[in-house]
């Protein structure tokens, strides 16, 4: 008897395929985890190896340093400070009467003498007021003359008992009143005459016109409008801020030299004429004024200049470059190379800071080898190698030879591949 084929139900799947796929997935995840762990171990070991190599290299190869010897101070030291030049006098020429500028006679850069007319203001109102005041004064003088005549006549008649005392006193009062009127009119004329004189703008001293802020036809107010500026530039004033630790050495009469970028190699002698005798608490400096002769007017006001002072040195101190200083918690220090090549950190006491040089009061001897441009990691006992300026360091040599060695290695590899 033949068994009938029973058809499978639609949608039925093989139950053994799902467990096989899950096993492969676990295997892939396991292999991936092993790979990540291997990469992490490799990177960690490589970093540790690099650090060990760096440590061994730093311990076996001394750092290259350059050294200098402390210098004994000369008889005098130079103190260089920034300064600014100013005109000896600077006078703004202002209008003291109102009107319109009629004409100007000198422009900027013109040299003028004391009393020269720089400009003229047209003042028609003041002119009319002055003419009216002069006419009033003339009338008052005529009345005063008449009052004086009447007063003399009344006095004579009163003394001869012709007129009464009352008539005499009336004439006397009229004479005094006319006299007061004439005095008042005289003062009015003088005031207007002064305003009339103010229409001429004059130079107060010999100098140079450095500014003109008006032109012909401009309305000029008499409230102090600035029209010109005249500077006296011979001599010039120079102001400089001297640090507090040098203030006692810079006194009235101290000589100095000025240098400017526009005059390379040229020095201008100057002399200290006054000092503030007080220290500015903001920047701990003293303001000092110098004067420099300027007969040729080569120097200009407002210029930047370097002021060079020659000051006496203490004589028992040493000087080192400023770039040799180390800043440590204990205070300023320097690195000294000993005879065995080891470094010793020495604390120093700084006297004067001259900008590029430092005065060392104690802590060093003239035979000490001072490290210049020391690294922050410099410490006592570190092994160093002293090199001459311009000599390449070991690191620089390695940086230059490494690319050549790599190129040679690549070339050898290519040659071996070709032979194969």
* Rg, C-alpha atoms of the chain: 48
First and final CA of the chain: distance in angstroms?
75
Q: Where are the alpha helices (DSSP H) in 89-239?
A: 124-159, 165-197
Shared-domain flag, residues 330 and 362: yes
Question: What's the pLDDT at 179?
Answer: 86
Q: What is the pLDDT of residue 264?
A: 92
**Residue 292 and residue 360 in one domain:** no
- Whole-angstrom Cα distance, residue 196 to residue 166? 45
**Residue finishing a domain among 312, 335, 366:** 312
Per-residue DSSP letter, 204: S
The answer to whether the pTM exceeds 0.85 is no
Q: Are residues 301 and 280 in the same domain?
A: yes
CATH number for the domain that contains residue 369:
2.40.420.20
pLDDT in tens, 198-214: 888 999 999 999 999 98
Query: Which stretches in the chain have pLDDT values below 70?
Result: 1-22, 46-61, 74-75, 162-163, 313-315, 389-420
Over the stretch 271-291, which tens digit does the pLDDT of each residue have?
999 999 999 998 889 999 999
Whether 308 and 338 map to the same domain: the answer is: no
Nearest to 311 by CA among 40, 81, 98: 81
Tell me, yes or no, whether 237 and 308 share the same domain: yes
**Burial of 68: CB neighbours in 10 Å, binned 0-12, 13-18, 19+:** middle
What residues make up the domain containing 173?
A: 124-198
Q: Considering the domain boundaries, does residue 327 fall inside one?
A: yes
Domains held by the chain: number: 3
Residue 300: per-residue pLDDT: 92
State the pLDDT at residue 13: 47
| Pair 338, 288 in one domain | no
Q: What's the CATH number where 170 sits?
A: 1.10.287.470
Q: Are residues 239 and 306 in the same domain?
A: yes
Cβ contact 191:136 at 8 Å: no
State whether 274 and 321 are in the same domain. no
Q: What is the pLDDT of residue 378?
A: 86
CATH number for the domain that contains residue 259 = 2.40.30.170
| pLDDT attached to residue 2 | 46
Residue with tokens 């900008």: 355
In this structure, is residue 354 part of a structural domain?
A: yes
Per-residue model confidence (pLDDT) at position 408: 47
pLDDT in the model for residue 405: 46
Query: Among 312, 343, 359, which residue terminates a domain?
Result: 312
């Amino acid at each position: 008897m033949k068994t009938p084929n029973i058809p499978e139900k639609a949608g039925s799947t093989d139950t053994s395929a799902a467990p096989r796929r899950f096993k492969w997935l676990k295997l892939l995840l396991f292999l991936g985890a092993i790979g990540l762990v291997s990469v992490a171990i490799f990177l960690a070991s490589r970093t540790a190896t690099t650090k060990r190599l760096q440590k061994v290299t730093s311990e076996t190869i001394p750092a290259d340093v350059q050294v200098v010897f402390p210098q004994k101070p000369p008889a005098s030291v130079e103190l260089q400070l920034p300064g600014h030049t100013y005109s000896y006098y600077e006078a703004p020429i202002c209008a003291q009467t109102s009107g319109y500028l009629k004409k100007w006679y000198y422009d900027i850069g013109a040299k003028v003498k004391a009393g020269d007319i720089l400009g003229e203001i047209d003042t028609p109102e003041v002119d009319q007021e002055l003419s009216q005041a002069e006419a009033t004064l003339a009338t008052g003088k005529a009345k005063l003359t008449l009052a004086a005549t009447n007063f003399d006549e009344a006095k004579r008649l009163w003394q001869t008992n012709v007129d009464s005392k009352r008539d005499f006193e009336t004439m006397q009062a009229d004479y005094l009143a006319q006299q007061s009127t004439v005095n008042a009119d005289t003062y009015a004329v003088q005031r207007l005459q002064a305003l009339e004189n103010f229409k001429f703008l004059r130079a107060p001293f010999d100098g140079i016109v450095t500014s003109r802020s008006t032109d012909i036809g401009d309305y000029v107010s008499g409230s102090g409008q600035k029209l010109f500026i005249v500077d006296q530039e011979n001599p010039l004033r120079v102001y400089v801020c001297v640090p507090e630790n040098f203030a006692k050495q810079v006194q009235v009469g101290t000589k100095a030299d000025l240098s400017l970028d526009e005059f390379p190699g040229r020095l201008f002698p100057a002399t200290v004429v006054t000092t503030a005798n007080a220290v500015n608490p903001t920047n701990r400096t003293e303001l000092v004024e110098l004067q420099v002769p300027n007969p040729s007017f080569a120097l200009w006001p407002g210029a930047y200049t370097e002021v060079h002072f020659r000051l006496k040195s203490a004589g028992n101190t040493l000087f080192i470059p400023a770039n040799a200083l180390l800043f440590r918690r204990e205070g300023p220090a320097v690195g000294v190379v000993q005879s065995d090549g080891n470094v010793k950190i020495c604390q120093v006491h700084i006297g004067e800071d001259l900008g590029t040089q430092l005065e060392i009061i104690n802590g060093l001897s003239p035979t000490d080898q001072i490290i210049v441009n020391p690294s922050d990691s410099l410490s006592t006992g570190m092994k160093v190698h002293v090199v001459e300026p311009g000599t390449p360091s070991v690191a620089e040599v390695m940086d230059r030879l490494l690319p050549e060695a790599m190129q040679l290695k690549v070339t050898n590899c290519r040659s071996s591949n070709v032979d194969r």
